[in-house]
Amino acid sequence: MDVHVIDHPLAQARLTAMRDARTDSASFRAALHELTTMLVYEAARSFPVERYPVQTPVTGTQGTRLANPPLLVPVLRAGLGMADAALGLLPESSMGFVGLARDEATFEPRAYMESLPPDLAGLPVLVLDPMLATGGSLEHCCRLLADRGCTDITVLCVLAAPAGIDRLDRSGLPLRLVTTAIDEGLNDRRFIVPGLGDAGDRQFGGM
């Protein structure tokens, strides 16, 4: 699996703000929004483009646009904070939704919501989830997409743990990963270490 880590200073500064336990929810959401813009920008570097004629105030020239804007799929609840920034850069994209809760005893995901187009053949997909921990949630989500015919999945996350990367790698699914950091590992509650805590709670408060 292709893994791309964005080591840009502006991305790393947003990540640090998100890691800091003193950062309040509003500042956490703002940093996630800005960081998502950078993740999407990097992920889109390899997207195919098409040329089309455009008239400037001076003359005619050739313009550029995405040939096939991707479907955006935020994984609820934590991925919700990435949705608006991604749609801002990709205004022609459609958005689907997958809702997953992690069972805190088995650490396996439980799907509670799925709103996706039935046929994803030929459509690239950008999956938005800030945390790749055990990888159970993202494997589940990407399998839903592959089952609908998707063959081109890019996962955007803020933090990835080696165990999650291994799991996605072994899944055999057609995906690549764009992230801001690969952290040391997981603790006994399967939280990423050093991590940033619970990305849903940090954005929206504890449930």
Active site residues: 102, 106, 198, 201
Beta carbons of 75 and 141 less than 8 angstroms apart: yes
Q: Which residue has the tokens 């072994």?
A: 170
> Which residue, 70 or 164, is less far from ligand U5P as judged by CB?
164
* Shortest Cβ 204–ligand U5P spacing (Å): 11
- Three-class DSSP category at 179: strand
Of 133, 58, 47, nearest in space to 90 by CA? 47
Cis omega (within 30 of 0) on the bond before 194?
yes
Q: Which is nearer to ligand U5P, 45 or 189 (CB)?
A: 189
Binding site for ligand U5P (CB under 6 A): 75, 78, 102, 107, 109, 129, 131-138, 164, 190-192, 195, 198-200
Nearer residue to ligand U5P within complex by CB, 42 or 129: 129
Q: Are 184 and 18 in contact (CB under 8 A)?
A: no
For every residue of 45-99, DSSP letters joined together read GG--EEEEEEE-SS-EEEEEEESSPPEEEEEETTTHHHHHHHHHH-TT--B-EEE
Q: How far is the CB of 53 from ligand U5P (least distance, A)?
A: 43
The nearer residue to ligand U5P, 42 or 183, going by C-beta atoms, is: 183
Q: How far is CA 198 from CA 19, 83, 164, in A?
A: 10, 18, 16
